[in-house]
Structure 1
Amino acid sequence: MCRKKILFISSRLEATNKNGAYIVSNRNYKMLQNVSEIKVFNVEMKSKIQRILNIIFLKRCEGISLVDENKIEKIIKDEKINIVFLDTSSYGYLCEKLKKKSGIKIVVFCHDINYFLYKSILNGVKNNILEKFKLKKILKNSEINEKKSFEKADVIITLNKRDSKLLNQKYKIESTIEIPVSFPNKNLDGKLDLFKSNIKNLLFVGVADFFPNMEGLNFFIREVLPHIDANLYIVGKNMEKYREIFENISKKVKVIGTVEKLEDYYCSADAIIAPIFSGGGMKVKTAEALMYGKTVFGTTEAFEGYELDYDKAGGLCNTAEEFIEKINNYIEKDNIKQKLNQYSRDIFLEKYSYNSSEEKFKEIIENIG
């Protein structure tokens, strides 16, 4: 049987992104590469002026332009593409064009339901009038594009039950299949002694300038850290910009910032914190922490979509009091020197490794027709 030709369209495949979206997009690409012939169209970052024009006048989202859409149509025709895999739900105008002109099969992958993601971010912006205006426009564009995408898609992939429910709630359309975040398995051979300290070391991993990350860090440093006997290390792209601010709040805070390899930091940490209160989809860093066999203390949002025993993995904490109580109880345990949480590691291997999602991608491509 002839292998189907897929055009994979994404704005997230630049490895320099160093964020959760890249990790999931790269997973999607690798899974499809295993089951079909695949060509990639990378939606590149535009200039600031182009982005403004695209958002305000053309109602486009996530960097795609009319020029990109024309290039994509040409590639589909020239390369005899059978399936378009959209690594976002935000390219609705493109979906509309493709269905009208070619009737090609379209798969839409939802990193989250963008309407609700931007709504939650907008609700968190208080005094910045310009930022509010921009987010309101993006929110409206997301709503328009998602509606078009979902109406034209042959297959809709969501990450979890919550996103499937939100999809149906907003657009009255059902998800075809849920494929949660997954990671390639790694050998746990990182360094264990990066943090030279006599007290316990907690780790937060996340990119800077993303509202849910900054909101969660500010909460944890101000409301939780003063009441626990532990240091907090912060690792993530561009977090070094906030070194002075965070370290001035508490001497227990150590901002590392951008790093080439996260492995040594995960392996050296006694536990991971995930104080995330807003956002959508699934938190990729939760799966990553489980992959490294770490104890994780996180909010309902941080654990959204993960099927596990919170107490065995670490703790479900939605208030400062819950974080303080559960982390202090953990610190007081006699086995605190054991940095590997075998339960977390086992749950990862069972449910959130690449092996757990490969068959689902294969099934989609085989059955799409």
Structure 2
Amino acid sequence: MKVLFFTYDFPYPTNSGGKTRAYNLLKFAAFDIDITLFSFIRDSFKMKNIENIKALGIKNIKLFKRRKLKDPRNILAFFDPGASIFRRLYFTKDVVLDLEKTVKKEKIDIIHFESFYTGFYMSSALKKTGARIVFGTENIESKIYYDYAKHMSTVFLKPLYFWEALKIKKEEESFFKFADSNIAVSQEEADYIKKKSANQCFVVENGIDLNFFKFKNKSYKKNKEILFVGNFSYFPNVEGACNFYENVFKNIKDKNIFFTVIGNKSTELSFAKCDRIKTFEYIEDVREAYYNADVFVFPVRFGGGTNFKILEAMSCGTPVVGFCDRAKSINAEDGKDILFVEDSNEFKNKILELLGDTNLRMKISENARAFVQSKYSWITIGNKLNKIWKNI
């Protein structure tokens, strides 16, 4: 079987959720499948990263430069009633021609469009080749941009951002309807997609490499550390971290409790230079951060998908406290595998309860590792996608 896998950003290094998902799907689902990789790249891309994908057995790789976000031509997209800014960023006729040529030449069986941003290349011409089209979502993109318009945009720009979110919603729903099959990362998002399209929708979760993120027991130390890891060019992470600092951490008065934030642009957060705050744009081995932390927090309130960092923390033995609305999609049991909270005051109290109770921390940590082992192994998830490709 031949699958053309099309992704919006090169899958290595795995320094974002989307890239981590794409890399592991390729690593664990394509073990007996001939893969052709189409991928957009950005200015920061390094050619040496190709070797990490070739090491997975993928030899046919085609790269395309994405238009820069600050390109003046993108301004026109805000006033185009028929297309979102992302169509202008990603869609070019040259890629259309290369895609059609490759599908015909290589006799591709499945074209897997991974993420909303590659969905613009679905076409009737591709369907006429006999290839089946799979649309792999990483979240419900329109909901993210609606939340940004509602909660983060200025009053002056709010109407423009709401209009943009509406255009994204129309495009996204057209992708759901056009694809032969859709893929969601959670049952909740699969149910949403099924309401918009009569086409089948499978759940292929985000996962964890259990052999890499190994479990370690915590050792006692006087200073306690609260940890949050994320990409802070992604607005839900920025909003979540800032809200947590202002409404939770500032109300934790113990001077021996610190808040560590790790991830791209974390040093630019508004509270980065405040007392008891440590920020790192990058660390070589994120596992050491999990092993050193006493509690991992998930303060994100907007967005979708499944946050990899929750699964990584649980796998490493770091107990997790997080807002229920966003973290519940992993289907962990509150009070057993994870601690869910509804508001800032409860967030503070649950953190202090964990930090003050060694037995509770140990129980949650051990249960969380067992939970992740049973449901979120990339090997199991890869096998699931492999079977989907072969049976649609």
Q: TM-score, normalised on structure 2?
A: 0.82
Matched, 1:294 2:318: yes
- Compared with structure 1, are the counterparts of its residues 253 and 40 closer, same or farther at alpha carbon in structure 2 (3 Å cutoff)? same
Q: What is the match of residue 74 of structure 1?
A: 101
Cα distance in 2, alignment partners of residues 9 and 126 from structure 1: 31
Aligned to 1:121: 148
Corresponding residue for 1:20? 17
Who is 2:374 aligned against?
350
Instruction: Please state how far the C-alpha of 1:85 moved relative to its aligned partner.
Output: 0.6
Q: What one-letter code is carried by the residue in structure 2 that aligns with 1:66? A: K
Decide whether aligned partners of structure 1 residues 188 and 43 sit closer, same or farther in structure 2, where only a CA change above 3 A counts. Answer: closer
Following TM superposition, by how much is the alpha carbon of 1:18 offset from its aligned partner in structure 2, in angstroms? 0.9
Counterpart of 1:341 in structure 2 is 365
Change (3 A) 1:191 1:342: closer
- The answer as to whether partners of 1:191 and 1:264 remain within 8 angstroms in 2 is no
Partners in 2 of 1:51 and 1:285 — Cα distance?
36
Post-superposition offset of 1:99: 4.3
Deviations 1:2-39 (A, max 9, x none): xx111100013343561111111112222332131101
* Cα distance, 1:148 vs structure 2: 2.8
TM-score normalised over the length of structure 1: 0.87
Residue number in structure 2 paired with 1:185: 210
| Matches for 1:210-229 after TM superposition, within 5 Å | 210-228=234-252, 229=254
Structure 2 unmatched runs, 5+:
42-65
2:6 is the alignment partner of 1:9:
yes
Distance of 2:203 and 2:144 partners within structure 1: 18
Q: Does 1:163 align with 2:189?
A: yes
- Relative distance call for 1:290 and 1:190 in structure 2 (3 A) is closer
Query: Given the alignment of the two structures, is residue 49 of structure 1 paired with residue 71 of structure 2, yes or no?
Result: yes
Change in CA separation of 1:196 and 1:69 when aligned onto 2, cut-off 3 Å: farther
Match of 1:102 in 2: 129
Give secondary structure in 2 for the equivalent of 1:325: helix
Match of 2:26 among 19, 26, 29: 29
Report the CA distance shift for 1:117/1:275 in structure 2 as closer, same or farther (over 3 A). Answer: same
More deviation, 18-27/307-316:
307-316
Q: Which amino acid aligns with 1:9?
A: F
Quote the offset at 1:352 in angstroms: 0.6
The residue that corresponds to 2:355 in the other structure is 331
8 Å contact kept, 1:117–1:280: yes
Give the whole-Å Cα distance in 1 for the aligned partners of 2:320 and 2:313.
7
Q: Which amino acid aligns with 2:173?
A: K
Greater shift in the superposed pair: 91-100 or 52-61: 52-61
Contact in 2 for aligned 1:237/1:259 (Cα 8 Å): no
Tell me the matched-pair count.
359
Over aligned residues, Cα RMSD in angstroms? Answer: 2.9
Find the partner of 2:92 among 61, 65, 87.
65
Letter in 1 for 2:295: A
Closer, same or farther: CA 40–312 of 1 in aligned 2, 3 Å: same
Partners of 2:371 and 2:318 in 1: how far apart? 11
Structure 1 stretches of at least 4 aligned residues deviating more than 3 Å after TM superposition: 53-58, 89-93, 97-101, 128-132, 135-138, 172-175, 187-193, 334-340
Q: State the shift of 1:280 in Å.
A: 1.2
**2:314, 2:368 within 8 Å by CA — same for their partners in 1?**
yes
Letter of the aligned partner of 1:366 in structure 2?
A: K
Instruction: Structure 1: give runs of 5+ residues left out of the alignment.
Output: none
